Amino acid sequence: MENEDPFSELNIPKIVKQKLAKKFSSLATLSRAPAQEISEQVGISLKLAKTSITSARTILKQIPITAMDLLEEYKKKRKLTTGSQNLDEILAGGISTGSITEIIGEYASGKSQLTFQLCVNAQLPYELGGLEGSVYFIDTEGTFSAKRVFEIAYAKSQENPDLIIPEKILENIHIGRAYNAEHQMNLIQESDNFIVEKKIKLIIIDSIAAHFRTEYIGKDSLAARAQALMRHAAILYRFADSYDLVVITTNQVLASVDKYIGGQGTEPALGFAWGHRPQTRIFLRKQKGNARIARIIDSPELPESEAVFYISNNGIEDKYSLDEDL
């Protein structure tokens, strides 16, 4: 019979085992967490945190893996549909689990609208491009619209009335309102067990940049901002990898003397410190009416390419609509 409390096997004091069990859902998530994060969250010394990690890795018998192992892992990743076949195509089937994907764009480019669509799609069955899971939405600017998500869910339910109930879709979206950068990071740091209990398969932060841009001002604060962002990104990636879920962040753009993206004279906010953390970056451009262009600007697995999609009352679509611009 398997041990129902795997933390009891750790070679550390009993009181520490109990603290760790409250913060981490498994030895695997503990083994991948940074020692500094464990020390701060659990309230133990850095030395004891490192000992806990070593003990967990010993129990799990973690050893180096081959490139072929990584390829097999990649093949097992699920893809979350965006609602647009055009966009899914340049994403090799959709947004991949196990990684951070960033959606970048100016005001009204469609960033939030795309995240609302993903909130619905994540709950769809696998065969419809979903992840059969719940959503954790970190709202940093008060832009989450339950009314808009309901509209998208209702439109989707007309296609599959037996599978999609709009009210149930809303019940499975858990909102965390972040009022400052520290609060934003805490909402993520404290969510290990929450992710398991609520069967979270999609985490969205809309937007990643808002609080960091307003609270870390001036050159003297750049180093501190970079360190905070690195800790934030490390936890997000650990969740994506450990729980095989999708992490989406939205990001704003800044004017740039160097025409960084598509000759638009803009670049993503937060600079290089954050820029290397998302595995895939998608830049959205507003076109005439409700048309949008999505361009993959950075990805280790996907080539740079573009796709056109539309934002209608029904959500993200491939067809042109006469709906008012959203």
107-143 pLDDT, tens digit each? 889 999 999 999 999 999 999 999 999 999 999 999 9
What CA–CA distances, in Å, run from 103 to 150, 199, 210, 262, 286?
22, 24, 14, 15, 13
259-274 pLDDT, tens digit each? 555 556 678 877 777 8
Mean pLDDT over 167-186 rounds to 97
Name all domains of the chain by residue range, CATH numbers in brackets.
6-60 (1.10.150), 72-317 (3.40.50.300)
> Looking at residue 51, what is its pLDDT?
94
**Please, which pLDDT band fits residue 41 given cuts at 50, 70 and 90?**
confident
> Looking at residue 29, what is its pLDDT?
81
pLDDT at position 192 over 90: no
218-243 pLDDT, tens digit each? 888 888 988 998 999 999 998 998 88
Q: What ranges in the chain are assigned the alpha helix state H?
A: 14-23, 27-32, 35-42, 46-60, 67-76, 85-90, 111-121, 146-159, 166-171, 181-189, 192-197, 210-215, 222-242, 271-275
State which amino acid sits at residue 98: G
**Please, which pLDDT band fits residue 1 given cuts at 50, 70 and 90?**
very low
pLDDT at position 190 over 80: yes
81-116 pLDDT, tens digit each? 999 999 999 999 999 999 999 999 998 899 999 999
pLDDT at position 325 over 80: no
pLDDT at position 74 over 90: no
